[in-house]
Amino acid sequence: MKIKFIILFVSLYLLALLITLPATALLRFIPQNMGLEIAGVSGSAWQGKAALLSYNKKINLQRVSWHVDWLALAALQIKLNVKFNNGQNAMSGKGFVKLGVSGLVVENVLLDLSAQELLSYADLPISVEASGDITLLIKEASQGDPYCDTLDGVFVWKNARISADLGKIDMTTVNINLSCDKGDAVAILQQKSEQLSSNINILLQKGGAYQLDGTVKGSHKLNPDINQALSFLGSKNSSGATIVRFNGRL
């Protein structure tokens, strides 16, 4: 009975703090070395807005809003419903973020953006252009050692096309299933078009070590220069697909 009373007291106390605490007061709790900048904050801690949230001046989220789920406080969790929108034909997203004694959990995260916008965040050694629409859906993901305890998501790239110096590749649709295996992050990529088919497994391990295994096969409709370049990635199996195996560290 005493434990229930303590939980109720703590929940009511946190509720009172959130109701009266302005959103701008949260800024003082953000460490300066995180590379996180927030501008145009208004509202309260339990329901507020920010005009801009920037991470390392590279990832910029605009029109950010959040509100607290009061029911989660009874379980000693802080659960936020978060949304952002960078404007028409630009990145947008929404989802739930939970913080409790077991760590950070995200649920039902939906992110929409263009392939070219995603490519702008990558520092590639060669000039590449991309087109198509990308959707990232994460049903659930939670912290673990080294990366995750749970991870259930999918990355879908529709109307996928890449243009580089060697030529263009029409990949139609790229599907990447995301999961967690004993703390390691796992991505399984599958793609098939008239020009190219790919089946690749990617494993991200502790310390940024990664393993990439799979096959890539180009058809006669693929640019001959690109087809020839694929042969340098590895040997071919009985079906004529190039076997791809890489190990390294991010």
Q: What's the confidence (pLDDT) of residue 17?
A: 61
Q: What are the tens digits of pLDDT across the range 55-85?
A: 888 889 999 999 988 777 777 788 899 999 9
Q: What are the tens digits of pLDDT across the range 1-59?
A: 456 556 656 666 666 665 667 888 777 777 777 788 899 999 988 889 999 999 888 88
Mean pLDDT for 214-226 is 93
Confidence of residue 144 (pLDDT cuts 50, 70, 90): very high
pLDDT value at 153 more than 60: yes
For the chain, give every domain's residue range. Answer: 1-100, 102-250
Which tops the pLDDT comparison, 100 or 5? Answer: 100
Which tops the pLDDT comparison, 99 or 223? Answer: 223
- If you write DSSP's letter for every residue of the chain in order, what string do you get? -HHHHHHHHHHHHHHHHHHH-BGGGGGGGS-GGG-EEEEEEEEBSSEEEEEEEEETTTEEEEEEEEEE-HHHHTTT-EEEEEEEE--TTS-EEEEEEEEETTEEEEEEEEEEEEHHHHHTTS--SS--EEEEEEEEEEEEEEE-SSSEEEEEEEEEEEEEEEEETTEEEEEEEEEEEEEEETTEEEEEEEEE-SSEEEEEEEEE-GGGEEEEEEEEEE-TTS-HHHHHHHGGG--B-TTSPEEEEEEEE-
Q: What's the confidence (pLDDT) of residue 97?
A: 92
Mean pLDDT for 152-158 is 98
Query: In this structure, is the dihedral angle defined by the CA atoms of residues 186, 200, 211 and 93, taken in order, positive or negative?
Result: negative
Q: What's the confidence (pLDDT) of residue 3?
A: 60
Q: What's the confidence (pLDDT) of residue 12?
A: 63
Q: Percent of the chain beyond pLDDT 90?
A: 59
- The residue written with tokens 């649709």 in the block is 173
Residues 168/184, Cβ–Cβ less than 8 Å: no
Report the C-alpha gap between 36 and 243 in whole angstroms.
41
Predicted TM-score of the model (pTM): 0.86
